[in-house]
Amino acid sequence: MTTRLPALYAACLLAVLGAGPAVAEPVPYRLDGLPRGEALSIRAEPDAGAEVVGEIRGRALVSGCTNDTPSRTTWCRVKVGRAVGWARRRYLVPE
């Protein structure tokens, strides 16, 4: 009976992990549409008034975008170095 327990634990773990929301694989994007030398703010929430938690000066990893925001503006979930947050989609172009 004890030889079957590891297989049972593995099956349960896979079931639990598989039941969670799908996470998009990060895709590299680059800045476009800002004046030369200007950075794009990374915000804590998908809102222009939210706290700035970082900035994008060249490239970022994007894991998903949404326009389901009060302003109906499209924001993308981004990561640059240690900064993780939201940035405006209009300034990001897939590599």
Q: Return the pLDDT at 76.
A: 96
Q: Give per-residue pLDDT as tens, 34-79.
A: 999 999 999 999 999 999 999 999 999 999 999 998 888 999 999 9
Burial of residue 25 (number of CB atoms within 10 Å: 0-12, 13-18, 19+): exposed
Separation of alpha carbons 42 and 9, rounded Å = 40
